[in-house]
Structure 1
Amino acid sequence: MFRYPYTRLFRQSEHSIVIAGPHIQVLDTNTGDVLHSTVKCKEDQIASGPIRCAALSDCGKYLATSGDDKKLKTWQVDDLKLLSSRGLPKKPTYINFADNNDILVADKFGDIFCYQLHPNSNESSSGYTRDTLPSHENPSGGELILGHASLLTTFLMTADGQYIVTADRDEHIRVSWYPQGYTIESYCLGHQKYVSAIHIPSFSPGTLISGGGDSVLRLWDWMSGKLLRNIDVFSAVQPFIAVKAPKKKREWKDEDEDIEPTEGKRGRRKNKGKRKEKRSADDGDAEESQDSAMPEGRPGEISTGESEVVFVVHRVASIPSLAPRIVFSVVGATALFWFSMDDNYEACIRHEPFYKPIIDFTLEDDGTVWVLLDADRSSQGGWSSKGEGDDSNLIEVRRWTPDNFTASHPLPLALALNSCTLPATQADLKVLDLYSDLVALPKHFEVVTEDRTQDLSEMGVDDAAPADGGSNDGGITKRELGRLKHKQALWRLQEVGRGASPDFERLPTDSKRVKSGGGDTLALGMDGT
């Protein structure tokens, strides 16, 4: 029997809320008894797909959730009553509550909208309210707070509620006023890759800790945007990364292929219906395939059958009451990591192994950490049915001692969560896709193109393409050669911008068109062609 892993846990003194796939359960914290569950709810109340984002209000009375159905649902925790369901303009990436119980939702378009806890009676579920820009149409009357030019990955509110800190896929961290998001206080710039986790410790409210795809965690004075220090963590984390991403390469495909030229109009693609049918068939095959837990490749990309380590920091938290310790997790890693902010020089990264990939964790003020595990994941990357023993636990609990985390006596809530699991199918687990960040966040470059561009530096330009416009022995046509030379020139110019010596001849500024097959293409720097 397959089962849903737990993806989020909100633990309170009386009631605890756990999310598993599309379902929500409310349990008695002291006894572990299941008080309410969406398993018995009506079909229209359950998310049509897994719950991707969830947040609990500061008062603990309200829960906000959203998923692939782009519905913002608000629940009353006491009886798990669905208070409202509102449409979102784009798929959400993160949800949080403001101090006044307003709900803030970040989406893949790069915007943050604010929604009142209880919708106004004049809000229409189908009518659009138009903001200053047509791209900010909102089906539920949400108020636009701010926007980025890239996918928003996470955000947080400062303790005083006056600022909102946002991070995106394009390495940016922005500190803005709240709710006047158009007023920017500072930028924290320095990341070379996506930023996926940010945190402000309560014992150091002026310090922001950020992590993502870089090999380091960065500490900032977020008010001024000044970088305080870098902490190298990748070398300590890499041995524990058990889930790897498929290595992607773009197909070497002619850009003009399937384009039908028209006079006075932009080209239109041919065989659109056939490709649509093919995609539908491929989607059906993907649902039946159970060989990999990773999503299928994107259009224009193929998997080489190889895998690569992709570093994504999932969550950063801190232990406020005992010691200035920073705790963080990494997507697909089988250990929890921590370090002390008191270290004056290089921080010592320590770990607590769990031997199964960590999905998420909840850290309490007293140092107790609840770790959610992908316990049914097999070493081959698929899923195994429920086993026996501690190695099949979906939740593990550790307690902080003066030096590290240690195992504690199982609490009733943990025992109940490990025994009262929700059944699932392999198709359900594939749709759940716990490791989508490993594929979605990195920007896959054209590896094949880069390899061929590098090969051009070792071959003569005049010998690379034959005079008849066909392909040479290396399989490179004039058109391909023109594109590669263009990419090579841009790469060299970037190197010069970084301070490298211009030990190459600048390509001619005049361009010539080369006719080949489907039409003309611009080949920069092609002499004598």
Structure 2
Amino acid sequence: MSRYPYTRLFWQSEHSTVIAGPHIQVLDTNTGDVLHSTAKCEEDQIASGPIRCAALSNCGKFLATSGDDKKLKIWQVDDLKLLSSRVLPKKPTYINFADNKDILVADKFGDIFRYQLHPSSNESSSGYTRDALSSHENPSGGELILGHASLLTTFLVTADGQHIVTADRDEHIRISWYPQGYTIESYCLGHQKYVSAIHIPSFSPGTLISGGGDSMLKLWDWMSGKLLRDIDVFSAVQPFITVKAPKKKREWRDEDEDIEPTEGKRGRRKNKGKHGEKRSADDGDVEESQDSAIPKGRPGEASTEDSEVVFVVHRVASIPSLAPIIVFSVVGATAIFWFSMDDNYETCIRHEPFYKPIIDFTLEDDGSLWVLLDADRSSQGGPSRKGEGDDSNLVEVRRWTADNFTASHPPPLALALNSCTLPATQVDLKVLDLYSDLLALPKHFETEAEDRTQDLSQMGIDDAATADGGSNDGGITKRELGRLKHKQALRRLQEVGRGASLDFEPLSIDSKRVKGGGGDTLALGIDGT
């Protein structure tokens, strides 16, 4: 019978927490005994569908999770007691603790809301009015921290708790003050594709490492937004990417398209006549309508001719005891990669193969590497297996010795995780969809967008004629104009950074509300956030 793979492991010295599909298990780290499991709980305590986002508090006592049911659930780790359950306004993309009492949740509409660990009495499940700057209502009374104009992929709060670093699908990295997210310190601009992973090493708190769809990892001085260096990683990673995505379909629709609310719980898309048909989304979750436009089939299921390599950096991490070693993983790759930040010229990207697609990894303080594998997936197209270990293992452990990760006798926790698995049906595994980022993050009209931008650049664009939302002779939409202005401003800012003169007038800040992402946002900053 099929089984759930592990999607997240929170290792602690006394007890560790692992997530598999919709289930949570707490195990004794030293013996491997299963202490608590939601598989034994009542049905109403189990998330409706797989857990997509999870975070452990700094003290290790509380676990925050959210699944397809869009509920933020807080668990007490000691006995896996469900402390609270709150409805989120939109599907979350990332969850993290700001400290031991606040939880931050990013969603598909680009907003980050803050929730208290223990719900206050004034939080109501109904009748909550939308914040003036948020793009959607919040039924659980979350406090808006900041917002982007596109889907937020990840974020982190700096070690001193003074800043929050956010990344989105539109190549932006923004550094804001926390919790005053409206106060922006700097931007780290230079990515050409989505940003999916960011990390600040504890041994170099002034350096930000970012990666996503570009072939390079970028190192930044995040306070100033200055790019320190690029590290080419794609050439080293590509031979190990065995999970591929179906090729792009022409009917793909960007979730950033304008949505116009109507009566009831439905929304409709603006300019629907231009797209040939009407579309709607139930329960007000218009961002979910993009799922119907995703090319049919799952990553890795298409034939070689109908698939393509999509590069997505999943996680970047480091260990203080291994300074300056940086470890990272890539969605659908069968190896873990690392490099040294001390390599000032030609950085050497090294790898440890696992011969099965890697879902996630966790690093202990002593340098031990815990890798979660999609062990039941056939490994085709990757390097032949010549290492140690069992092909059926869902968890593999490596120890850092000298200058490399090496296999050793698995600890009791690893043995227990590989033996005490949770059953799943084929339907359950299809819903789990481990490689959804390969389809969701890339913009499937990039080539057409570039061609369109070049066409627009050759046209004479009258800003005054479009300031009131009007059209022009070229039939350019207001959204296309906004994106073109942003690209032009970014290009010229980059030229200024190379010593060119600033020969254009800065864009004026329009106080009018414009449609961005999935709702109304103020046109602030060059990226529309």
Structure possessing the higher radius of gyration over alpha carbons: 1
Paired amino acid for 2:38: T
Paired amino acid for 1:110: G
Q: How far is 1:63 from its partner?
A: 0.2
**Aligned match of 1:94:** 94
Whole-Å separation in 2 of the counterparts to 1:221 and 1:272: 46
Whole-Å separation in 2 of the counterparts to 1:411 and 1:342: 32
Answering whether residue 264 of structure 2 is matched by residue 294 of structure 1, we say no
**Aligned match of 2:351:** 351
**TM-score w.r.t. structure 1 length?**
0.75
Q: How far is 1:40 from its partner?
A: 1.3
Q: How far is 1:295 from its partner?
A: 9.9
Contact 2:246 2:297 in 1 (8 A): no
Whole-Å separation in 2 of the counterparts to 1:15 and 1:100: 18
Paired amino acid for 1:171: E
**Aligned match of 2:65:** 65
Q: How far is 1:134 from its partner?
A: 6.3
CA deviation vs aligned residue, 1:377-428 (integer Å, no higher than 9, x gap)? 12479xxxxxxx7111000000111211000111000000000000001110
RMSD: 3.4
Gapped regions of structure 1 (runs ≥ 5): 254-264, 277-282, 298-302, 382-388, 455-481, 500-529
**Aligned match of 1:438:** 438
Q: How far is 1:294 from its partner?
A: 3.3
Q: How far is 1:128 from its partner?
A: 1.8
Q: How far is 1:374 from its partner?
A: 0.3
Paired amino acid for 1:57: S
**Aligned match of 2:184:** 184
Whole-Å separation in 2 of the counterparts to 1:336 and 1:393: 16
Whole-Å separation in 1 of the counterparts to 2:211 and 2:95: 19
- Secondary structure, counterpart of 1:3 in structure 2: coil
Contact 1:252 1:448 in 2 (8 A): no
CA deviation vs aligned residue, 1:288-329 (integer Å, no higher than 9, x gap)? xxx9543999xxxxx996111100000000121133100000
1:318-467 paired onto structure 2 within 5 Å: 318-379=318-379, 390-445=390-445
Contact 2:245 2:300 in 1 (8 A): no
Contact 1:295 1:436 in 2 (8 A): no
**Aligned match of 2:245:** 245
Contact 2:171 2:194 in 1 (8 A): yes
Q: 1:178 to 1:296 in 2, by over 3 A?
A: farther
CA deviation vs aligned residue, 1:447-475 (integer Å, no higher than 9, x gap)? 699999x9xxxxxxxxxxxxxxxxxxxxx
1:2-17 paired onto structure 2 within 5 Å: 2-17=2-17
CA deviation vs aligned residue, 1:467-502 (integer Å, no higher than 9, x gap)? xxxxxxxxxxxxxxx99xxx9xx99xx99x999xxx
Aligned residues between the structures: 429
Contact 1:114 1:144 in 2 (8 A): yes
1:194-205 paired onto structure 2 within 5 Å: 194-205=194-205
Contact 1:372 1:396 in 2 (8 A): yes
Q: 1:135 to 1:370 in 2, by over 3 A?
A: same
Contact 1:249 1:447 in 2 (8 A): no
**Aligned match of 1:479:** none
Q: What percentage of aligned pairs have identical amino acids?
A: 85
Gapped regions of structure 2 (runs ≥ 5): 254-269, 283-288, 382-388, 455-474, 496-529
Q: 1:334 to 1:92 in 2, by over 3 A?
A: same
- Secondary structure, counterpart of 2:429 in structure 1: helix
Q: 1:85 to 1:273 in 2, by over 3 A?
A: closer
**Aligned match of 2:213:** 213
Q: How far is 1:68 from its partner?
A: 1.0
- Secondary structure, counterpart of 1:423 in structure 2: coil
**TM-score w.r.t. structure 2 length?**
0.75
- Secondary structure, counterpart of 1:321 in structure 2: helix
1:15-94 paired onto structure 2 within 5 Å: 15-94=15-94
Q: How far is 1:349 from its partner?
A: 0.2
Whole-Å separation in 1 of the counterparts to 2:354 and 2:374: 10
CA deviation vs aligned residue, 1:352-396 (integer Å, no higher than 9, x gap)? 000000000001111001000000012479xxxxxxx71110000
Paired amino acid for 1:294: P
Whole-Å separation in 2 of the counterparts to 1:25 and 1:352: 28
- Secondary structure, counterpart of 2:414 in structure 1: helix
